[in-house]
Amino acid sequence: MQTGTASRARLPLVVARAVPLALSAMLAACTVGPDFVRPSAPPADGYLAAGEASGPNGGADRQQELLGQRIGGAWWSLFRSPDLDRVVKDAVAGNRSLAAARSSLAQALQQATAVGGALYPRVDASAQAARERINLAAFGFAGPNPVLNLYQVGPTVSYALDLFGKTHRQVEEADALAEGQGYQLDAAYLTLTGDVVVQAVTIASLRAQIRATEDIVGDDQQNLDLVRKAKAAGSATEVDVLHADSQLANDLTLLPPIRQQLTVARHALAVLVGRAPANWTPPDFDLDGFRLPRDLPVSLPSALVRQRPDILAAEAELHAASAAIGVATAQMYPDITLSADLLQQAVFPGHLFRDAASSITAGGGVVAPLFHGGALKAQQQAAEAAYHAAMAGYEQTVLLAFAQVADVLQALDHDADEAAAQDKAVATAEASLRLTRLSFGAGNVGVLQVLDAERQYQQARLGALRARAQRHLDTAQLFLAMGGGWWDWEETPQAR
């Protein structure tokens, strides 16, 4: 099981730092600033207040919430749609926003590596050639001043002892920022897969609404033909014909907006896949091609804060803010740097690498802040304020996540109730329309009653389709609210 994008991607980085970290462990024993402690998980055992959950009004069609279970990685596969599985895979491979997030993570990892370079001694090589006139009088000698050529080459080594942990805190901050960027990538992946599912279900719903509306328009045409025949037989009036014709015209106006929405959804899905709408056509998704999952894994609140990428990203930002306090605190203490030069010096190039040309210089330097006009203390207090702001942001992220889960859980209960009510409304309206048409044929009711019964059936049928699609959409929203199972899917970005 994978534990996160940043931790996996930075494994070589951690190994590479093991040696210098071990060597400097004693020197960093006095690292100043707070050591980061993960915020405790909320004590809540559930998401809804007592009495908020709806009763089982949805009958056998109600979905079952399995509290304490985590969702699998490829959560969209629970809808049992091969077309959806294929489109999600294409989107993960081709989406431009996800590609940008991957590059941002790579940048953050390299920046962390660059900051970590300060844990090592710095070794540089230098070469210099100079022409100099020596002033003999300055040394108490008389005579003409000689002109010499001086050649110099060799390595220079320097190392910051980091007695108070400034470098270690800088590395800690950079690592936390890189980890946060990794969770941002996971969040981008989760958002992408959720958007694909939403657009796919939307396409299926709109196609179903178009078919239903076309059937209704066909019924309107039959009604108009029936009324015209009745008028010819003397049992209907011109007013009845106009009413039937008006119903047909009104229902025809329903089709263009739905078709436009379908076009927009298809184009949006093409963009998610990383293709131009003119170069890619999505599958003809159908509501019957999606299976509504009956079992809904719901993580406990204590687990949710350890698996939602937005919460983990906020935690990483909090960690970075904590390390920044250590950096600001360490700036108030002395910096000690050791250095050594091993140089070859000669007045002739051919003499550079003789024993007599060797020159060794070793030393150390201390820089201790004495007076900075209160700037260092202000920087420390600013870092502490930034940490408190990050803590508030983290807590707000957790609260919003819990509210989102609570909203979706109640929505699913209400969706089941609405779907059951809409199905009953369709059955009732269909029976009423059938009997009304028979009564109209027998001359017992007028055309207005037929049109009214048809309008009720139309509204019930479209409402049932929308309620059915909404159940799929809210189910997807629950999976996203749980974190989407990014941590254990074999093809998530962190495995790439």
SS3 letters across 274-287: CCCHHHCCCCCCCH
Strand partners, 336: 366
Check residue 9 and give its pLDDT. 46
Q: Are residues 182 and 9 in contact, defined by beta-carbon separation less than 8 angstroms?
A: yes
Give 220-288 as a DSSP string: HHHHHHHHHHHHHTTSS-HHHHHHHHHHHHHHHTTHHHHHHHHHHHHHHHHHHHT--GGG-------GG
Break the chain into its structural domains and give their ranges.
5-120+163-332+375-495
Enter the DSSP assignment of 74.
S
Q: Are residues 456 and 429 in contact, defined by beta-carbon separation less than 8 angstroms?
A: yes
Cβ neighbors of 341 (< 8 A, separation 6 or more) are: 154, 155, 156, 157, 359, 360, 361, 362
CA dihedral 95, 100, 103, 104 (to 10 degrees): -140
Give 170-214 as a DSSP string: HHHHHHHHHHHHHHHHHHHHHHHHHHHHHHHHHHHHHHHHHHHHH
Check residue 402 and give its pLDDT. 94
Check residue 132 and give its pLDDT. 84
Q: Are residues 342 and 154 in contact, defined by beta-carbon separation less than 8 angstroms?
A: yes
Strand-pair category, 147-160 with 122-133: antiparallel
| Cα gap 330→323, rounded to integer Å | 11
31 is written with which tokens?
A: 């690292």
Q: Smallest Cα–Cα separation from 67: which of 43, 52, 47?
A: 47
| Cα gap 484→183, rounded to integer Å | 13
Cβ neighbors of 411 (< 8 A, separation 6 or more) are: 474, 477
Using CA atoms, how far residue 338 sits from 122, 156, 160, 161, 169, in Å, is 10, 11, 6, 7, 20
| Cα gap 219→490, rounded to integer Å | 50
| Cα gap 372→369, rounded to integer Å | 7
For residue 333, the one-letter residue type is Y
Question: Could you say which architecture CATH assigns to the domain 5-120+163-332+375-495?
Answer: Up-down Bundle (1.20)
The terminus-to-terminus CA distance of the chain in angstroms comes to 15
Strand-pair category, 147-160 with 295-298: unpaired
| Cα gap 340→359, rounded to integer Å | 11
Give 351-400 as a DSSP string: GTTSGGGEEEEEEEEEE-----TTHHHHHHHHHHHHHHHHHHHHHHHHHH
Strand-pair category, 358-367 with 64-67: unpaired
| Cα gap 293→59, rounded to integer Å | 15
With 0-12 / 13-18 / 19 or more C-beta atoms within 10 angstroms meaning exposed / middle / buried, residue 173 is buried
Q: Smallest Cα–Cα separation from 218: which of 179, 196, 248, 176?
A: 248
Strand-pair category, 147-160 with 335-346: antiparallel
Q: Where are the alpha helices (DSSP H) in 301-350?
A: 301-304, 309-330
Check residue 278 and give its pLDDT. 95
Cβ neighbors of 61 (< 8 A, separation 6 or more) are: 416, 419, 420
| Cα gap 427→456, rounded to integer Å | 11
pLDDT digits (tens, 9 = 90+) for 187-244: 999 999 999 999 999 999 999 999 999 998 998 898 888 888 888 888 778 988 898 8
pLDDT digits (tens, 9 = 90+) for 387-438: 999 999 999 999 999 999 999 999 999 999 999 999 999 999 999 999 998 8
| Cα gap 19→10, rounded to integer Å | 16
Give 293-310 as a DSSP string: -SEEEE--HHHHTTT-HH
Q: Are residues 481 and 398 in contact, defined by beta-carbon separation less than 8 angstroms?
A: no
Check residue 315 and give its pLDDT. 97
Strand partners, 122: 158
Q: Walk along the chain (496 residues) in steps of 10 and give the mean pLDDT of each run.
A: 43 46 51 93 82 54 85 89 96 95 95 94 89 81 83 90 93 96 94 96 96 90 86 84 90 95 97 96 95 92 92 97 96 93 81 78 91 95 97 96 94 92 94 90 81 88 94 95 73 41
Check residue 59 and give its pLDDT. 54
